[in-house]
């Protein structure tokens, strides 16, 4: 999804889940409002995402899109129904003029 699509759909949904799959260090520097950090490269990624609701939409992002694509595959294999990946990651989000927080 484009940054505009994510902005228009996630922030108007009452039950969507926004996951930043980057490292905690990257998350601390900047992240999208209301995001939770679950790093896809950590060994406990699958254990942590088990706490998410598989029947609610999940929006994923990383820096440019590679790690979130990997996370999307893992979530799909785990039975998540609605998975949306931010195209171009937080880099594209910021370049599109949307705000982040730290």
- Which residue numbers are catalytic? 62
In whole angstroms, give the CA distance from residue 30 to residue 97.
14
Closest by alpha carbon to 20, among 55, 54, 48?
48
In whole angstroms, give the CA distance from residue 60 to residue 21.
7
């Amino acid at each position: 999804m484009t940054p505009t699509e994510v902005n228009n759909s996630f922030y108007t949904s009452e039950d969507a889940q926004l996951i930043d799959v980057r490292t905690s260090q990257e998350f601390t520097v900047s992240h999208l409002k209301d995001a939770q950090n679950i790093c896809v490269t950590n060994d406990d990624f699958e254990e942590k995402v088990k706490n998410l609701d598989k029947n609610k939409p999940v929006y994923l992002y990383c820096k440019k899109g590679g790690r979130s694509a990997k996370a999307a595959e893992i979530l799909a294999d785990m039975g998540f129904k609605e998975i949306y990946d931010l195209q171009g990651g937080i880099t594209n989000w910021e370049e599109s003029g949307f705000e982040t927080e730290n």
